[in-house]
Structure 1
Amino acid sequence: MAGTVFLAYDYPILGAFWTVFLLGMAVLWFALLFRVIVDIFRDDDLGGGGKTGWLLFVILLPFLGVFVYVVARGRNMGAREVAHAQARQEEFDSYVRSAAGTGTPEVEQLSRLAEMHDKGAISDREYQQAKEKVLH
């Protein structure tokens, strides 16, 4: 067996710490870079030229571009994120309401029939007939 064999003790603990630290910083850097790019596209206040300029600045000079973007426009990044999340939640809620059928005439008629049946205003047979009529 010719050659050198590298064992775990050949890599000092400080070197391992430094590697993990740099890897973590790289992950954080890419997370920030992508968040800035998403914010550029999501911002409705910027026009096409502004979005293009910021995007080119961030892509061509990433460290300087992200730093300048965060300093210049970072204050409202959180507000835009919250507004986007609220809009998505409202869209989801309206979809669920429409899919569940709340507010449709059939649902309202069935709820009135059930209420009348519970009060004893109509009999079981009348309730079943009226319910079948509404559903068909």
Structure 2
Amino acid sequence: MSFWDIIWYIIVCFAFIAYLMLLFSIIGDLFRTEGTSGWVKALWIVFLIFVPFITALIYLIVNGDAMTKRSVRAAQHMKDQQDAYIKQVASGKSPAEHIADAKALLDSGTITETEFQALKAKALA
């Protein structure tokens, strides 16, 4: 095997892996699309199987912008869920427990009503 055969093999492997990544991205986007009917999604899948390169190119031209928006929206949703989870774990208590603790402090006269409202707003934020 010559040097150029190895280089050609690396290029072909790279192109194949890039195509697989594109194909999985398109299929994932197809299932993420809300406004498209099941028949249209099935038709895209059939064309992706029998005419893969042309179909992938057409899909990217037709749905590329919407594909990006859906991907960004999904990433933002995941980030928001992760932030909420981290906030919940970091606080150690649920908002209801924080409010109950603040109410106990208010009832005992340790804090005023405005301080209680501030603690309640902070717990609910």
TM-score w.r.t. length of structure 2: 0.71
Paired residue secondary structure (2:11): helix
Who is 1:109 aligned against?
100
Aligned residues: 109
1:64-75 equivalences in 2 (<5 Å): 64-75=54-65
89-98 or 18-27: which moved more? 89-98
Who is 2:116 aligned against?
none
1:20-31 equivalences in 2 (<5 Å): 20-31=10-21
Partner of residue 17 from structure 1, selected from 3, 7, 12: 7
Who is 1:129 aligned against?
none
What is the root-mean-square deviation of aligned Cα atoms in Å?
A: 2.9
Give 5+ residue unaligned stretches, structure 2. 112-125
108-117 or 83-92: which moved more? 108-117
Structure 2: how far apart are the matches of 1:79 and 1:29?
21
How far apart are 1:89 and its partner, in Å?
Answer: 2.8
> 1 or 2, which has the higher helix percentage?
2
The one-letter amino acid paired with 1:107 is H
The one-letter amino acid paired with 1:45 is G
Which structure has the higher relative contact order (CA within 8 Å, separation 6+)?
Answer: 2
The one-character-per-residue Cα deviations of 1:62-99 (angstroms, maximum 9, x if unpaired) are: 11211111111112211110111122233444455666
Structure 2: how far apart are the matches of 1:69 and 1:33?
10
- Percent sequence identity is 25
| CA distance 1:115–1:21, change in 2 (3 Å) | farther
61-70 or 88-97: which moved more? 88-97
Larger Rg: 1
Structure 2: how far apart are the matches of 1:107 and 1:121?
15
Matched, 1:33 2:33: no
Who is 1:80 aligned against?
70
The one-character-per-residue Cα deviations of 1:27-84 (angstroms, maximum 9, x if unpaired) are: 1010001101111111112121221111211122111211111111112211110111
How far apart are 1:18 and its partner, in Å?
Answer: 0.6
Who is 1:8 aligned against?
none
